Amino acid sequence: MLSTTRFTPAGRKNVTRDTDPYLPGKTARHMGVCPACHAVRNGQRWTFDTPTAKMLLKRTGEVDLHRCPACRKIADGFPFGLVTLAGAFLAFHRDEILSIVRNEEKRAMGLNPLARIMSLTEEGGRMEIATTDEKLAQRIGREVHKACSGDIEYTWSDDVKLLRVRWMRDA
């Protein structure tokens, strides 16, 4: 059985769509770089830019060296999207479905470097994917459903910023 308790730290309930604690505050210094993934922050915007990241990493002391919101969510085990894929169909089309999932991650990261897969676990014929971004979870569900049909369900939490996507196909 998969345990989801590790994804619900005590402070979780106080987080709403409007108060994402992982987004930088207005007082954040102008330029920064994440020491974990080397995403570059320019004001409020994060991008992947290797030459700029290398340059900024040499100028420690002048630039902000803090982990980006995605790396902090990953370190905290604090997903904003949870996708569960299940059913007998999955076992026969596992590689095809996995490549849909990975393609969606690649595509999302090209648009927003903070949209990532935090973890992907397979157990008891189910695949569980935790994402740092609810839109990525939604897209993974939508693309798997589009390619493989089956049943899909989206549940947005009222009190927390978390989208649960459940896809299932048996035959």
CB within 8 A of 72, min separation 6: which ones? 22, 78
Pick 39 or 83: Cβ nearer Zn ion: 39
Tell me which stretch binds Zn ion (CB under 5 A): 32-40, 73-81, 97-105, 120-128. Answer: 32-40
Least distance to Zn ion, CB of residue 87, Å: 34
Which residue in 40, 68, 90, 97 binds Zn ion (CB under 5 A)? 68
Amino acid letter, 1: M
Pick 31 or 37: Cβ nearer Zn ion: 37
Alpha carbon distance 96, 103 (integer Å) = 11
Which residue in 28, 31, 37, 55 binds Zn ion (CB under 5 A)? 37
Considering the rule CB under 5 A, would residue 71 count as an interface residue with Zn ion? yes
Pick 39 or 100: Cβ nearer Zn ion: 39
Alpha carbon distance 96, 98 (integer Å) = 5
The helix/strand/coil state of 166 is: strand
List the alpha helices (DSSP H) in 41-164: 50-58, 69-76, 88-92, 94-111, 134-148
Pick 100 or 115: Cβ nearer Zn ion: 115
Residues that bind Zn ion (CB under 5 A): 34, 36-37, 39, 68, 71
